[in-house]
């Protein structure tokens, strides 16, 4: 048996197709124990130990749109018909032939009924149904090898991780930012994570959650780094010197300024329009104005909470994200956070702090 994997959008990449494809093959090879090769617009995975887990990993690899476990035979009428005699087919079926090898001696309209007849002979209870069959027996005849498969398992789609550059994701322990990371990686960004911890106000439990989320995400996004930044001193300085209503905006600006230094091509957050008080357009503007030279991407900006939750469940982060924890933003949240902060006021509040010194100090303790 082999696994036949198909890619989607890469077909549209023109002159860059080779580059995208090489990355996809390399990403697959890193994730599975078998052999990976490109063959006639498909990817063939062979010599793996366990089919189920390999199939799971392949269909979770960004860039793959579907995969099928397949039998491999040599491309001769004899080998194919011999194999079909042994095939067990319950219920209704149809035969679908792809004669990619034009040298194969029998044309599809002739070969399909011939194959169907053999299957009917071997399975007296089976019947042919061309419109709504219980199973479709796909016979993919290529030069050299023929692949026979019935199952087509949907993959995650997207583009191979790494083709779009590198992102630094602001990862809290909540529901949203892990989903944002997953979506960013789905469009080909490789991701590393940055988390701001405010001990003793936030506990080791909050950090554990973030580490677990990283581990789950790595299943899809590949190997990543997690930078943990001590954020207590910065938060305390803001609390001491600045007007309380700007607390969250100023904290977020510090997070962005620190993320800016992490040598990435862009910053990702789990922010969403109008989900909470600080996520108004004015709030979002104040969060990043002049705080970074990088683009801040917010993959979830227009998503409904219910859409984010169902994605989090699909990715596998939801159960961890909902474990209660303290986040620096929830610990320091003022009674009346400003809903539409005026940029001028935010910058005036920030002026009260020596941001550079605070940031440099926090950077010394990155772990």
- Alpha carbons 254 and 252: distance in angstroms, whole number: 5
Q: For residues 177 and 220, which CB has a smaller minimum distance to ligand ATP in the complex? A: 177
Tokens standing for residue 56 = 């799971």
Instruction: Indicate the pairing of strand 42-46 with strand 64-74.
Output: unpaired
260 binds ligand ATP (CB under 6 A): no
Q: Which of 70, 175, 284, 353 binds ligand ATP (CB under 6 A)?
A: 175
Q: Which residue is nearest to ligand ATP (CB)?
A: 174
332 binds ligand ATP (CB under 6 A): no
- Alpha carbons 358 and 220: distance in angstroms, whole number: 35
207 binds ligand ATP (CB under 6 A): no
From 5-13, 56-64, 276-284, 354-362, span contacting ligand ATP (CB under 6 A)? 276-284
Q: Which residues bind Mg ion (CB under 5 A)?
A: 172, 174, 327
- Alpha carbons 325 and 205: distance in angstroms, whole number: 7
238 binds ligand ATP (CB under 6 A): no
Q: For residues 153 and 228, which CB has a smaller minimum distance to ligand ATP in the complex? A: 228
224 binds ligand ATP (CB under 6 A): no
270 binds ligand ATP (CB under 6 A): yes
196 binds ligand ATP (CB under 6 A): yes
With beta carbons less than 8 A apart as the criterion, state whether 243 and 349 touch: yes
Can you point out the beta strands (E) in the chain?
2-7, 35-39, 42-46, 64-74, 92-99, 127-128, 135-141, 145-149, 153-154, 166-170, 190-197, 226-230, 266-268, 296-297
341 binds ligand ATP (CB under 6 A): no
Q: How far is the CB of 86 from Mg ion (least distance, A)?
A: 56
Q: Which of 68, 190, 278, 288 binds ligand ATP (CB under 6 A)?
A: 278
* Residue 275 contacts which entry, Mg ion, ligand ATP, none (Cβ below 5-8 A, type-dependent): ligand ATP
Q: For residues 27 and 272, which CB has a smaller minimum distance to ligand ATP in the complex? A: 272
From 114-122, 138-146, 217-225, 269-277, span contacting ligand ATP (CB under 6 A)? 269-277
Tokens standing for residue 364 = 């010394």
Helices 176-186 and 204-221: angle between axes, nearest 10 degrees: 20
Question: Which residues are registered as beta bridge partners of 128?
Answer: 93
Q: Which of 23, 57, 142, 195 binds ligand ATP (CB under 6 A)?
A: 195
* Residue 196 contacts which entry, ligand ATP, Mg ion, none (Cβ below 5-8 A, type-dependent): ligand ATP
- Alpha carbons 56 and 135: distance in angstroms, whole number: 21
Of residues 317, 257, 310, the one with CA closest to residue 287: 257
DSSP reduced 3-state for 225: coil
From 36-44, 58-66, 147-155, 267-275, span contacting ligand ATP (CB under 6 A)? 267-275
277 binds ligand ATP (CB under 6 A): no
Q: For residues 44 and 308, which CB has a smaller minimum distance to Mg ion in the complex? A: 308
Q: For residues 145 and 321, which CB has a smaller minimum distance to Mg ion in the complex? A: 321
Enumerate residues 58-117 that contact ligand ATP by CB under 6 A. none
- Burial class (CB within 10 angstroms; exposed 0-12, middle 13-18, buried 19+) of 201: middle
State the sign of the Cα–Cα–Cα–Cα dihedral 70, 72, 78, 83.
negative
Q: Which residue is nearest to Mg ion (CB)?
A: 174
Site string for ligand ATP, 290-329 (x = CB under 6 A): -------------------------------------xxx
Of residues 277, 280, 259, the one with CA closest to residue 333: 277
- Alpha carbons 193 and 199: distance in angstroms, whole number: 19
269 binds ligand ATP (CB under 6 A): yes
- Alpha carbons 113 and 97: distance in angstroms, whole number: 10
Q: How far is the CB of 327 from ligand ATP (least distance, A)?
A: 5
What residues line the site for ligand ATP (CB under 6 A)?
170-172, 174-177, 195-196, 255, 269-271, 275-276, 278-279, 327-329
């Amino acid at each position: 048996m082999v696994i036949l994997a198909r890619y989607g959008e890469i077909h549209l990449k023109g002159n860059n197709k080779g580059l995208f494809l090489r990355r996809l093959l390399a990403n697959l090879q890193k994730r599975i124990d078998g052999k990976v090769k490109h063959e006639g617009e498909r990817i063939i995975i062979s010599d793996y130990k366990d089919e189920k887990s390999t199939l799971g990993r392949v269909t979770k690899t960004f860039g793959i749109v579907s995969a099928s476990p397949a039998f491999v035979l040599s491309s001769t009428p004899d080998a194919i018909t011999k194999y079909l005699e042994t095939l067990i087919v319950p219920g209704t079926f149809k035969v679908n032939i792809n004669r990619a090898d034009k040298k194969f001696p029998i044309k599809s309209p002739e070969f399909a009924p011939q194959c169907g007849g053999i299957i009917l002979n071997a399975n007296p209870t089976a019947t042919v149904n061309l419109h709504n069959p219980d199973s479709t027996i796909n016979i993919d005849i290529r030069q050299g090898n023929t692949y026979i498969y019935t199952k087509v398992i949907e993959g995650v789609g997207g583009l191979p991780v790494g083709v779009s550059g590198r992102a630094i994701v602001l990862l809290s322990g909540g529901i949203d930012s892990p989903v944002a990371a997953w979506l960013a990686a789905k469009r080909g960004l490789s991701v590393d994570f940055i988390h701001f911890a405010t001990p003793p106000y936030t506990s080791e439990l909050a950090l554990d959650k973030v580490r677990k989320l990283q581990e789950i995400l790595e299943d899809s996004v590949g190997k990543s780094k997690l930078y943990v930044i001590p954020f207590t001193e910065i938060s305390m300085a803001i609390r001491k010197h600045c007007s309380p209503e700007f607390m969250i905006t100023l904290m977020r600006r510090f997070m962005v300024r620190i993320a800016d230094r992490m040598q990435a091509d862009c910053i990702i957050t789990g922010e969403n329009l109008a989900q909470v008080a600080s996520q108004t357009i004015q709030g979002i503007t104040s969060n990043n104005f002049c705080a970074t030279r990088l683009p801040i991407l917010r993959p979830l900006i227009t998503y409904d909470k219910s859409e984010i939750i169902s994605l989090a469940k699909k990715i596998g982060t939801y159960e961890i994200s909902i474990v209660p924890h303290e986040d620096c933003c929830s610990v320091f949240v003022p009674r009346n956070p400003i809903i539409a902060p005026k940029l001028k006021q935010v910058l005036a509040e920030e002026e009260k702090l020596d941001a550079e010194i605070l940031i440099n100090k926090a950077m010394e303790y990155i772990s």
